[in-house]
Amino acid sequence: MSGHHHHIDPNSGNTRIFWAITVNILLTVVQIIGGILSGSLALIADAIHNMSDALSLILAFVARKIAQRPADDTMTFGYGRAEIVAALINYTTLILLGLYLTYEAVVRLFNPASVDGWLVVVIAFFALLVDAATALLTYALSKQSMNIRAAFLHNVADALGSVAVIIAGTVIILYDWRLIDPLITLVIAGYILWQSVTEIGGAVRILMLGSPPDLDTRAILKAIRTVSGVEDVHHLHLWQMQEHESAVDAHIVIKAGVWTEADRVKLAVKDALRDGFGLSHITLELECHVHACKDPQEVGHIVAN
């Protein structure tokens, strides 16, 4: 069944993303300066991590702008999937980042590095404020867009990292226990990998023209067959044109004796699919029972070589 989506004005959403990018770039500059002044490689590394957040937001912003373009002769379905491609790229970079953090944490478990606890806590607290501001700017948008959700998770991961660094820095100041840094890093890396692996499947499914996860293909076939005048259905294709727009096409075999009512049957099938499953893009090919496809596939079709 389709859900009801509350849409934010596109220009308002673009403004939020612009400011999120701005504050993240500001944070990166502050962290690099702090790292150079303190001689802390960890802070510079964190600045590079934060720059990946800014880049993910820039990618999301560009993809969002492209997705708002109308259909044309080149992209007859429109540009909506630009956001799905951006989401796939962002989730992939998050997975690579999670693996890299895991590697660095394991190395540091065996060779704990010297950390300036006070400087780390101060800059991490500033980073947390910026990450929180960015998350607030993109949270509402992330509920509706896989693309923005990927960028949002970048910032959530970074915010958790900032909290963990504050805790680690405090423990180091109080107890000089350096193993806390890699241990907390492993927890953060685990969260990043879990979220990314969970979310990336949705982007891959859409790009692979998979059926919408909230729709039951068998239920749709059954609903079509129960429409008066329908003898059978085959060559069914069910996919997501964009994240919130599902489509279907199928061959409908009209029962003997009711071909003169073919238009009524077609409209009845469309109503059943639109009302029962929220499908908005419906394409049906009608066949009379005498000239129906021979030995057709129920779902999909065999492509001739």
Question: For residue 1, what pLDDT is reported?
Answer: 36
What pLDDT was estimated at residue 66? 86
Nearby residues of 186 by Cβ (< 8 Å), 6 or more positions away: 101, 102, 105, 106
Burial degree of 295 (CB within 10 A; 0-12, 13-18, 19+)? exposed
For the sheet with 245-254, list strands across it. 230-242, 245-254, 281-288
d(CA 183, CA 289): 68
Report the CATH number of the 217-288 domain. Answer: 3.30.70.1350
Q: What pLDDT, on the 0 to 100 scale, is given for residue 5?
A: 37
| Residues β-bridged to residue 288 | 254
User: Is the CB of residue 162 less than 8 Å from the CB of residue 50?
Assistant: no
State the Rg of the chain over Cα.
Answer: 26
According to the model, what pLDDT value does residue 245 have? 85
Name the residue ranges covered by the structural domains of the chain.
Answer: 10-207, 217-288
* CATH code, 10-207: 1.20.1510.10
pLDDT attached to residue 39? 57
Residue position matching structure tokens 């008066």? 228
Q: State which residues of the chain have pLDDT below 50.
A: 1-9, 305
- pLDDT for position 9: 47
